[in-house]
Structure 1
Protein backbone atom coordinates (compact mmCIF):
# COMPACT_ATOMS: atom_id res chain seq x y z
CA UNK A 1 0.00 0.00 0.00
CA UNK A 2 1.30 3.42 -0.94
CA UNK A 3 2.44 5.59 1.97
CA UNK A 4 0.13 8.48 2.82
CA UNK A 5 1.58 11.98 2.79
CA UNK A 6 1.26 14.49 5.61
CA UNK A 7 2.30 17.87 4.29
CA UNK A 8 2.18 21.52 5.32
CA UNK A 9 1.45 24.49 3.07
CA UNK A 10 3.04 27.37 4.97
CA UNK A 11 0.97 30.11 3.28
CA UNK A 12 -1.94 30.26 0.80
CA UNK A 13 0.46 31.83 -1.71
CA UNK A 14 2.07 28.38 -2.04
CA UNK A 15 -1.20 26.48 -2.63
CA UNK A 16 -0.77 26.48 -6.44
CA UNK A 17 2.19 24.13 -5.86
CA UNK A 18 -0.16 21.43 -4.51
CA UNK A 19 -2.86 19.35 -6.20
CA UNK A 20 -5.33 19.97 -3.40
CA UNK A 21 -7.82 17.52 -4.94
CA UNK A 22 -5.49 14.72 -3.77
CA UNK A 23 -5.74 15.66 -0.08
CA UNK A 24 -7.90 16.09 2.93
CA UNK A 25 -7.17 19.76 3.62
CA UNK A 26 -7.13 21.16 7.16
CA UNK A 27 -7.54 24.95 7.21
CA UNK A 28 -5.66 26.65 10.05
CA UNK A 29 -6.12 30.27 11.13
CA UNK A 30 -5.49 30.22 14.87
CA UNK A 31 -5.87 33.97 15.51
CA UNK A 32 -8.88 33.83 15.06
CA UNK A 33 -11.05 32.52 12.24
CA UNK A 34 -10.71 28.75 12.59
CA UNK A 35 -10.86 28.98 16.39
CA UNK A 36 -14.12 30.92 16.14
CA UNK A 37 -15.54 28.52 13.54
CA UNK A 38 -14.77 25.51 15.76
CA UNK A 39 -16.34 27.26 18.75
CA UNK A 40 -19.42 28.32 16.79
CA UNK A 41 -20.09 24.85 15.39
CA UNK A 42 -19.52 23.34 18.86
CA UNK A 43 -22.08 25.81 20.25
CA UNK A 44 -24.80 24.75 17.86
CA UNK A 45 -24.46 27.02 14.84
CA UNK A 46 -26.42 25.28 12.10
CA UNK A 47 -23.81 26.28 9.52
CA UNK A 48 -21.10 28.82 8.80
CA UNK A 49 -20.82 29.98 5.19
CA UNK A 50 -17.28 31.17 4.39
CA UNK A 51 -16.98 33.78 1.64
CA UNK A 52 -13.90 35.54 0.31
CA UNK A 53 -15.11 39.11 -0.06
CA UNK A 54 -16.94 41.58 2.17
CA UNK A 55 -19.32 42.26 -0.72
CA UNK A 56 -20.28 38.58 -0.90
CA UNK A 57 -21.07 38.63 2.79
CA UNK A 58 -23.14 41.79 2.48
CA UNK A 59 -25.13 40.26 -0.40
CA UNK A 60 -26.71 37.81 2.06
CA UNK A 61 -28.62 40.75 3.57
CA UNK A 62 -30.88 40.69 0.54
CA UNK A 63 -31.75 37.01 0.96
CA UNK A 64 -33.96 37.77 3.95
CA UNK A 65 -33.46 34.48 5.77
CA UNK A 66 -32.08 35.81 9.03
CA UNK A 67 -28.40 35.16 8.38
CA UNK A 68 -25.88 36.52 10.87
CA UNK A 69 -23.26 38.45 8.92
CA UNK A 70 -19.67 38.39 10.17
CA UNK A 71 -16.91 40.37 8.47
CA UNK A 72 -13.34 41.05 9.64
CA UNK A 73 -10.49 42.89 7.98
CA UNK A 74 -7.12 43.69 9.57
CA UNK A 75 -8.33 42.35 12.91
CA UNK A 76 -11.38 44.60 13.18
CA UNK A 77 -15.11 44.18 12.58
CA UNK A 78 -16.13 45.72 9.27
CA UNK A 79 -18.60 48.55 9.89
CA UNK A 80 -22.23 47.58 9.40
CA UNK A 81 -21.84 43.86 10.16
CA UNK A 82 -23.17 41.86 13.11
CA UNK A 83 -19.70 40.84 14.32
CA UNK A 84 -16.24 39.81 13.16
CA UNK A 85 -14.25 36.73 14.06
CA UNK A 86 -13.85 37.06 17.81
CA UNK A 87 -14.65 33.69 19.42
CA UNK A 88 -16.74 35.55 21.99
CA UNK A 89 -19.24 36.34 19.22
CA UNK A 90 -19.82 32.61 18.66
CA UNK A 91 -21.36 31.67 22.01
CA UNK A 92 -24.40 29.41 22.26
CA UNK A 93 -26.79 32.27 22.98
CA UNK A 94 -25.70 34.09 19.83
CA UNK A 95 -25.29 31.34 17.23
CA UNK A 96 -27.28 28.23 18.25
CA UNK A 97 -29.56 27.25 15.38
CA UNK A 98 -28.31 30.14 13.24
CA UNK A 99 -26.39 30.32 9.97
CA UNK A 100 -23.41 32.69 10.01
CA UNK A 101 -21.92 34.14 6.82
CA UNK A 102 -18.23 34.85 7.48
CA UNK A 103 -15.43 36.65 5.67
CA UNK A 104 -11.99 37.20 7.21
CA UNK A 105 -8.62 38.58 6.13
CA UNK A 106 -6.85 35.22 5.96
CA UNK A 107 -8.82 32.13 6.93
CA UNK A 108 -11.68 32.29 4.44
CA UNK A 109 -9.18 33.18 1.70
CA UNK A 110 -7.23 29.98 2.36
CA UNK A 111 -10.44 27.98 2.50
CA UNK A 112 -11.69 29.38 -0.80
CA UNK A 113 -8.46 28.31 -2.51
CA UNK A 114 -8.81 24.78 -1.10
CA UNK A 115 -12.39 24.03 -2.11
CA UNK A 116 -11.48 21.33 -4.64
CA UNK A 117 -9.87 19.12 -1.95
CA UNK A 118 -11.24 15.64 -1.24
CA UNK A 119 -12.52 17.08 2.00
CA UNK A 120 -11.98 20.39 3.79
CA UNK A 121 -12.04 20.46 7.58
CA UNK A 122 -11.24 23.17 10.13
CA UNK A 123 -8.52 22.92 12.75
CA UNK A 124 -7.62 24.93 15.85
CA UNK A 125 -6.09 24.29 19.26
CA UNK A 126 -9.69 24.14 20.50
CA UNK A 127 -10.39 20.87 18.64
CA UNK A 128 -6.81 19.56 18.30
CA UNK A 129 -7.23 16.05 19.70
CA UNK A 130 -10.65 15.43 18.15
CA UNK A 131 -9.28 16.49 14.77
CA UNK A 132 -6.17 14.31 15.08
CA UNK A 133 -8.15 11.28 16.22
CA UNK A 134 -10.38 11.62 13.17
CA UNK A 135 -7.43 12.09 10.81
CA UNK A 136 -5.92 8.86 12.16
CA UNK A 137 -8.96 6.99 10.80
CA UNK A 138 -8.60 8.43 7.27
CA UNK A 139 -6.75 6.82 4.36
CA UNK A 140 -6.10 9.95 2.30
CA UNK A 141 -3.11 12.26 2.10
CA UNK A 142 -3.40 15.24 4.47
CA UNK A 143 -2.42 18.84 3.71
CA UNK A 144 -2.32 21.30 6.60
CA UNK A 145 -2.93 24.75 5.10
CA UNK A 146 -1.70 27.67 7.20
CA UNK A 147 -3.71 30.81 6.48
CA UNK A 148 -0.79 33.03 7.53
CA UNK A 149 -1.14 36.79 7.35
CA UNK A 150 -1.98 38.33 3.97
CA UNK A 151 -0.29 35.47 2.11
CA UNK A 152 2.79 35.57 4.33
CA UNK A 153 4.08 32.99 6.81
CA UNK A 154 3.08 33.21 10.45
CA UNK A 155 4.17 31.43 13.62
CA UNK A 156 0.86 30.52 15.23
CA UNK A 157 -0.60 28.57 12.30
CA UNK A 158 2.68 26.74 11.69
CA UNK A 159 3.01 25.89 15.39
CA UNK A 160 -0.47 24.36 15.30
CA UNK A 161 0.43 22.38 12.18
CA UNK A 162 3.40 21.06 14.17
CA UNK A 163 1.06 20.06 17.01
CA UNK A 164 -1.04 18.02 14.56
CA UNK A 165 2.07 16.37 13.15
CA UNK A 166 3.19 15.51 16.69
CA UNK A 167 0.05 13.38 17.08
CA UNK A 168 0.17 11.87 13.58
CA UNK A 169 3.85 11.40 12.79
CA UNK A 170 3.90 7.79 14.04
CA UNK A 171 0.81 6.85 12.01
CA UNK A 172 2.71 5.85 8.88
CA UNK A 173 2.66 9.20 7.04
CA UNK A 174 5.48 10.48 4.86
CA UNK A 175 6.33 14.03 5.98
CA UNK A 176 7.51 16.79 3.64
CA UNK A 177 10.13 19.37 4.68
CA UNK A 178 7.59 22.03 5.81
CA UNK A 179 5.92 19.37 7.98
CA UNK A 180 9.26 18.46 9.57
CA UNK A 181 10.01 22.16 10.13
CA UNK A 182 6.56 22.76 11.66
CA UNK A 183 7.05 19.85 14.04
CA UNK A 184 10.51 21.12 14.97
CA UNK A 185 8.91 24.50 15.73
CA UNK A 186 6.36 22.74 17.93
CA UNK A 187 9.20 21.09 19.88
CA UNK A 188 10.48 24.59 20.66
CA UNK A 189 7.12 25.89 21.82
CA UNK A 190 5.23 22.94 23.28
CA UNK A 191 6.40 23.38 26.88
CA UNK A 192 4.53 26.70 27.07
CA UNK A 193 2.51 27.41 23.95
CA UNK A 194 1.01 30.61 25.34
CA UNK A 195 4.44 32.02 26.16
CA UNK A 196 5.85 31.00 22.78
CA UNK A 197 3.00 32.63 20.88
CA UNK A 198 3.68 35.95 22.58
CA UNK A 199 6.37 36.32 19.89
CA UNK A 200 3.84 36.44 17.05
CA UNK A 201 3.35 39.57 15.00
CA UNK A 202 -0.40 38.97 14.71
CA UNK A 203 -0.62 38.62 18.48
CA UNK A 204 0.97 42.06 18.72
CA UNK A 205 -1.48 43.36 16.12
CA UNK A 206 -4.45 42.10 18.12
CA UNK A 207 -3.04 43.47 21.37
CA UNK A 208 -2.94 46.93 19.81
CA UNK A 209 -6.64 46.50 19.12
CA UNK A 210 -7.20 45.67 22.80
CA UNK A 211 -8.35 42.10 22.27
CA UNK A 212 -5.77 40.09 24.21
CA UNK A 213 -8.61 37.99 25.64
CA UNK A 214 -9.28 36.65 22.13
CA UNK A 215 -5.66 35.49 21.87
CA UNK A 216 -5.81 33.71 25.22
CA UNK A 217 -9.09 32.04 24.24
CA UNK A 218 -7.65 30.72 20.97
CA UNK A 219 -4.69 29.16 22.79
CA UNK A 220 -6.88 26.78 24.81
CA UNK A 221 -6.39 23.13 23.93
CA UNK A 222 -9.29 20.68 23.50
CA UNK A 223 -12.07 23.00 24.58
CA UNK A 224 -14.26 21.53 21.80
CA UNK A 225 -14.76 18.21 20.02
CA UNK A 226 -16.71 19.31 16.93
CA UNK A 227 -14.91 19.15 13.58
CA UNK A 228 -16.32 21.63 11.07
CA UNK A 229 -16.38 20.20 7.53
CA UNK A 230 -17.20 21.92 4.25
CA UNK A 231 -20.34 20.55 2.59
CA UNK A 232 -21.20 22.44 -0.55
CA UNK A 233 -20.90 26.10 0.44
CA UNK A 234 -21.42 25.53 4.18
CA UNK A 235 -19.26 24.50 7.11
CA UNK A 236 -21.26 22.08 9.26
CA UNK A 237 -20.49 19.63 12.07
CA UNK A 238 -18.80 16.47 10.83
CA UNK A 239 -20.64 13.29 11.77
CA UNK A 240 -18.06 10.86 13.12
Structure 2
Protein backbone atom coordinates (compact mmCIF):
# COMPACT_ATOMS: atom_id res chain seq x y z
CA UNK A 1 0.00 0.00 0.00
CA UNK A 2 1.25 3.46 -0.88
CA UNK A 3 2.22 5.61 2.08
CA UNK A 4 -0.43 8.03 3.20
CA UNK A 5 0.50 11.70 3.26
CA UNK A 6 0.44 13.65 6.51
CA UNK A 7 0.50 17.38 5.83
CA UNK A 8 0.13 20.50 7.94
CA UNK A 9 -1.10 23.75 6.44
CA UNK A 10 -0.42 26.71 8.70
CA UNK A 11 -3.09 28.99 7.25
CA UNK A 12 -6.04 28.77 4.83
CA UNK A 13 -4.19 31.27 2.64
CA UNK A 14 -1.86 28.43 1.63
CA UNK A 15 -4.67 25.99 0.86
CA UNK A 16 -4.61 26.56 -2.95
CA UNK A 17 -1.09 25.09 -2.99
CA UNK A 18 -2.31 21.65 -1.90
CA UNK A 19 -4.22 18.78 -3.47
CA UNK A 20 -6.64 17.54 -0.79
CA UNK A 21 -9.14 15.55 -2.83
CA UNK A 22 -7.93 12.31 -1.18
CA UNK A 23 -7.44 13.88 2.25
CA UNK A 24 -9.37 13.89 5.47
CA UNK A 25 -9.05 17.53 6.47
CA UNK A 26 -8.92 18.28 10.18
CA UNK A 27 -9.89 21.91 10.70
CA UNK A 28 -8.20 23.42 13.77
CA UNK A 29 -9.14 26.64 15.56
CA UNK A 30 -8.17 25.99 19.17
CA UNK A 31 -9.05 29.46 20.55
CA UNK A 32 -11.98 28.86 20.21
CA UNK A 33 -14.22 27.76 17.35
CA UNK A 34 -13.28 24.11 16.90
CA UNK A 35 -13.05 23.57 20.66
CA UNK A 36 -16.58 24.94 21.04
CA UNK A 37 -17.88 22.90 18.11
CA UNK A 38 -16.50 19.68 19.58
CA UNK A 39 -17.97 20.52 22.98
CA UNK A 40 -21.35 21.43 21.52
CA UNK A 41 -21.66 18.24 19.49
CA UNK A 42 -20.65 16.21 22.54
CA UNK A 43 -23.34 17.98 24.54
CA UNK A 44 -26.13 16.97 22.19
CA UNK A 45 -26.35 19.68 19.56
CA UNK A 46 -28.18 18.19 16.57
CA UNK A 47 -25.88 20.03 14.22
CA UNK A 48 -23.77 23.13 13.77
CA UNK A 49 -24.00 24.91 10.43
CA UNK A 50 -20.79 26.86 9.74
CA UNK A 51 -21.22 29.92 7.54
CA UNK A 52 -18.71 32.43 6.25
CA UNK A 53 -20.43 35.73 7.00
CA UNK A 54 -22.57 37.44 9.61
CA UNK A 55 -25.12 38.21 6.91
CA UNK A 56 -25.45 34.54 6.01
CA UNK A 57 -25.90 33.69 9.67
CA UNK A 58 -28.72 36.21 9.96
CA UNK A 59 -30.45 34.62 6.95
CA UNK A 60 -31.23 31.55 9.12
CA UNK A 61 -33.13 33.64 11.68
CA UNK A 62 -36.57 32.38 10.64
CA UNK A 63 -35.52 28.71 10.87
CA UNK A 64 -35.69 28.72 14.66
CA UNK A 65 -32.00 27.90 15.04
CA UNK A 66 -29.63 29.34 17.61
CA UNK A 67 -27.47 31.97 15.93
CA UNK A 68 -23.84 32.38 16.98
CA UNK A 69 -21.48 35.01 15.61
CA UNK A 70 -17.99 36.08 16.66
CA UNK A 71 -15.63 38.64 15.24
CA UNK A 72 -12.27 39.61 16.74
CA UNK A 73 -13.01 37.55 19.84
CA UNK A 74 -16.31 39.30 20.64
CA UNK A 75 -19.92 38.22 20.27
CA UNK A 76 -21.49 40.15 17.41
CA UNK A 77 -24.24 42.43 18.73
CA UNK A 78 -27.72 40.95 18.47
CA UNK A 79 -26.67 37.27 18.42
CA UNK A 80 -27.47 34.52 20.93
CA UNK A 81 -23.79 33.83 21.61
CA UNK A 82 -20.37 33.62 20.01
CA UNK A 83 -17.77 30.88 20.21
CA UNK A 84 -17.04 30.56 23.92
CA UNK A 85 -17.09 26.85 24.80
CA UNK A 86 -19.18 27.64 27.87
CA UNK A 87 -22.00 28.75 25.59
CA UNK A 88 -22.14 25.20 24.21
CA UNK A 89 -23.02 23.48 27.49
CA UNK A 90 -25.64 20.74 27.43
CA UNK A 91 -28.42 22.84 28.94
CA UNK A 92 -28.00 25.39 26.15
CA UNK A 93 -27.45 23.27 23.02
CA UNK A 94 -28.92 19.81 23.59
CA UNK A 95 -31.39 19.07 20.81
CA UNK A 96 -30.67 22.38 19.06
CA UNK A 97 -29.23 23.33 15.70
CA UNK A 98 -26.75 26.21 15.73
CA UNK A 99 -25.66 28.46 12.89
CA UNK A 100 -22.12 29.69 13.51
CA UNK A 101 -19.81 32.24 11.95
CA UNK A 102 -16.39 33.11 13.38
CA UNK A 103 -13.35 35.15 12.41
CA UNK A 104 -11.17 32.19 11.47
CA UNK A 105 -12.62 28.73 12.04
CA UNK A 106 -15.67 28.85 9.80
CA UNK A 107 -13.57 30.44 7.06
CA UNK A 108 -11.21 27.45 7.16
CA UNK A 109 -14.15 25.02 7.01
CA UNK A 110 -15.68 26.93 4.11
CA UNK A 111 -12.45 26.86 2.10
CA UNK A 112 -11.53 23.24 2.75
CA UNK A 113 -14.93 21.71 2.00
CA UNK A 114 -14.66 22.78 -1.64
CA UNK A 115 -12.18 20.04 -2.54
CA UNK A 116 -11.55 17.80 0.51
CA UNK A 117 -12.50 14.13 0.64
CA UNK A 118 -13.88 14.74 4.14
CA UNK A 119 -13.83 17.54 6.72
CA UNK A 120 -13.72 16.83 10.45
CA UNK A 121 -13.16 19.07 13.46
CA UNK A 122 -10.24 18.75 15.85
CA UNK A 123 -9.36 20.20 19.24
CA UNK A 124 -7.39 19.22 22.29
CA UNK A 125 -10.75 18.23 23.76
CA UNK A 126 -11.07 15.30 21.31
CA UNK A 127 -7.40 14.75 20.38
CA UNK A 128 -7.29 10.98 20.92
CA UNK A 129 -10.62 10.37 19.21
CA UNK A 130 -9.44 12.27 16.13
CA UNK A 131 -6.09 10.49 16.01
CA UNK A 132 -7.63 7.04 16.41
CA UNK A 133 -10.08 7.77 13.60
CA UNK A 134 -7.37 9.03 11.25
CA UNK A 135 -5.23 5.93 11.87
CA UNK A 136 -8.16 3.71 10.94
CA UNK A 137 -8.73 5.36 7.56
CA UNK A 138 -6.93 4.64 4.30
CA UNK A 139 -6.75 8.32 3.43
CA UNK A 140 -4.21 11.12 3.46
CA UNK A 141 -4.38 13.46 6.45
CA UNK A 142 -4.39 17.22 6.08
CA UNK A 143 -4.21 19.33 9.23
CA UNK A 144 -5.55 22.79 8.43
CA UNK A 145 -4.76 25.50 10.95
CA UNK A 146 -7.32 28.31 10.85
CA UNK A 147 -4.69 30.76 12.10
CA UNK A 148 -5.58 34.40 12.65
CA UNK A 149 -7.01 36.22 9.65
CA UNK A 150 -5.05 34.01 7.25
CA UNK A 151 -1.82 34.37 9.26
CA UNK A 152 0.12 31.75 11.23
CA UNK A 153 -0.70 31.19 14.88
CA UNK A 154 0.92 29.08 17.59
CA UNK A 155 -2.00 27.35 19.25
CA UNK A 156 -3.39 25.75 16.08
CA UNK A 157 0.09 24.65 15.04
CA UNK A 158 0.63 23.07 18.47
CA UNK A 159 -2.50 20.97 18.05
CA UNK A 160 -1.41 19.94 14.57
CA UNK A 161 1.90 18.90 16.13
CA UNK A 162 0.06 16.85 18.77
CA UNK A 163 -1.72 14.93 16.00
CA UNK A 164 1.52 14.39 14.07
CA UNK A 165 3.15 13.17 17.28
CA UNK A 166 0.55 10.41 17.59
CA UNK A 167 0.42 9.47 13.90
CA UNK A 168 4.08 9.62 12.89
CA UNK A 169 4.85 6.05 13.96
CA UNK A 170 2.27 4.79 11.47
CA UNK A 171 2.79 4.54 7.74
CA UNK A 172 2.72 8.21 6.75
CA UNK A 173 4.94 10.43 4.66
CA UNK A 174 5.44 13.63 6.67
CA UNK A 175 5.96 16.98 5.00
CA UNK A 176 8.32 19.56 6.51
CA UNK A 177 5.46 21.52 8.05
CA UNK A 178 4.38 18.39 9.93
CA UNK A 179 7.88 17.81 11.25
CA UNK A 180 8.13 21.42 12.40
CA UNK A 181 4.71 21.29 14.10
CA UNK A 182 5.69 18.11 15.92
CA UNK A 183 8.96 19.66 17.09
CA UNK A 184 7.08 22.69 18.40
CA UNK A 185 4.55 20.51 20.20
CA UNK A 186 7.31 18.54 21.93
CA UNK A 187 8.70 21.81 23.29
CA UNK A 188 5.28 22.85 24.62
CA UNK A 189 3.55 19.61 25.64
CA UNK A 190 4.63 19.54 29.29
CA UNK A 191 2.86 22.85 29.97
CA UNK A 192 0.55 23.87 27.15
CA UNK A 193 -1.04 26.61 29.21
CA UNK A 194 2.27 28.33 29.90
CA UNK A 195 3.42 28.01 26.30
CA UNK A 196 0.20 29.26 24.76
CA UNK A 197 0.21 32.22 27.16
CA UNK A 198 2.72 33.71 24.71
CA UNK A 199 0.28 33.65 21.82
CA UNK A 200 -1.18 36.81 20.35
CA UNK A 201 -4.73 35.43 20.40
CA UNK A 202 -4.35 34.46 24.04
CA UNK A 203 -3.50 38.10 24.72
CA UNK A 204 -6.57 39.26 22.79
CA UNK A 205 -8.85 36.99 24.81
CA UNK A 206 -7.27 38.04 28.11
CA UNK A 207 -8.03 41.65 27.27
CA UNK A 208 -11.66 40.60 26.86
CA UNK A 209 -11.56 38.98 30.32
CA UNK A 210 -12.13 35.43 29.12
CA UNK A 211 -9.02 33.61 30.36
CA UNK A 212 -11.21 30.69 31.47
CA UNK A 213 -12.01 29.99 27.82
CA UNK A 214 -8.30 29.57 27.12
CA UNK A 215 -7.82 27.12 29.99
CA UNK A 216 -10.86 25.13 28.96
CA UNK A 217 -9.73 24.82 25.34
CA UNK A 218 -6.47 23.20 26.51
CA UNK A 219 -8.22 20.32 28.29
CA UNK A 220 -7.15 16.97 26.87
CA UNK A 221 -9.60 14.28 25.80
CA UNK A 222 -12.72 15.29 27.67
CA UNK A 223 -14.76 14.75 24.50
CA UNK A 224 -15.19 11.52 22.51
CA UNK A 225 -17.26 12.95 19.67
CA UNK A 226 -15.84 13.87 16.28
CA UNK A 227 -17.84 16.50 14.38
CA UNK A 228 -17.94 15.71 10.66
CA UNK A 229 -19.25 17.92 7.87
CA UNK A 230 -22.21 16.37 6.06
CA UNK A 231 -24.38 18.38 3.66
CA UNK A 232 -22.86 21.61 4.98
CA UNK A 233 -23.72 20.77 8.59
CA UNK A 234 -21.37 19.54 11.32
CA UNK A 235 -22.87 16.48 13.00
CA UNK A 236 -21.67 13.75 15.33
CA UNK A 237 -19.76 11.04 13.48
Mark yes or no: TM-score above 0.5: yes
> Cα distance, 1:11 vs. partner?
0.5
Q: Deviations over 1:185-218 (max 9, x none)?
A: 0111011111111110000000000000100000
Residues 28-73 of structure 1: per-residue CA shift (max 9 Å, x gap): 0000000000000000000000000000000101xx3310000000
Instruction: Give the match for residue 39 of structure 1.
Output: 39
Which residue in the other structure is 1:60 paired with?
Answer: 60
For 1:21 and 1:72, locate their aligned partners in 2 and report how far apart those are by CA, in whole Å.
30
For 1:110 and 1:12, locate their aligned partners in 2 and report how far apart those are by CA, in whole Å. 6
Question: Once the two structures are superposed, what CA deviation does each residue of 1:109-136 show, in whole Å capped at 9, x if it has no partner?
Answer: 0010000211100000000001101111
CA distance in 2, matches of 1:127, 1:88: 16
Q: Give secondary structure in 2 for the equivalent of 1:20.
A: coil
**Alignment correspondent of 2:146:** 147
The aligned length equals 236
TM-score using structure 2 length: 0.99
Alignment TM-score, normalising by the size of structure 1: 0.97
SS of match in other structure, 1:21: coil
User: Residue 184 of structure 1: CA displacement?
Assistant: 0.4
Counterparts of residues 88-237 of structure 1 (less than 5 Å): 88-115=86-113, 116-237=115-236
Deviation at 1:236, TM superposition (A): 0.1
Aligned-residue offset at 1:20 = 2.1
Match of 1:49 in 2: 49
Distance 1:117 1:53 in 2: 21
Q: C-alpha separation between the residues in 2 aligned to 1:78 and 1:138?
A: 38
CA distance in structure 1 between the partners assigned to 2:92 and 2:134 by the alignment: 30
Q: Which residue of 2 aligns with 1:16?
A: 16
RMSD of aligned alpha carbons: 0.6
CA distance in 2 between counterparts of 1:179 and 1:10 reads 10
Q: Distance in 1 between matches of 2:161 and 2:55?
A: 34
Q: Distance in 2 between matches of 1:113 and 1:65?
A: 25
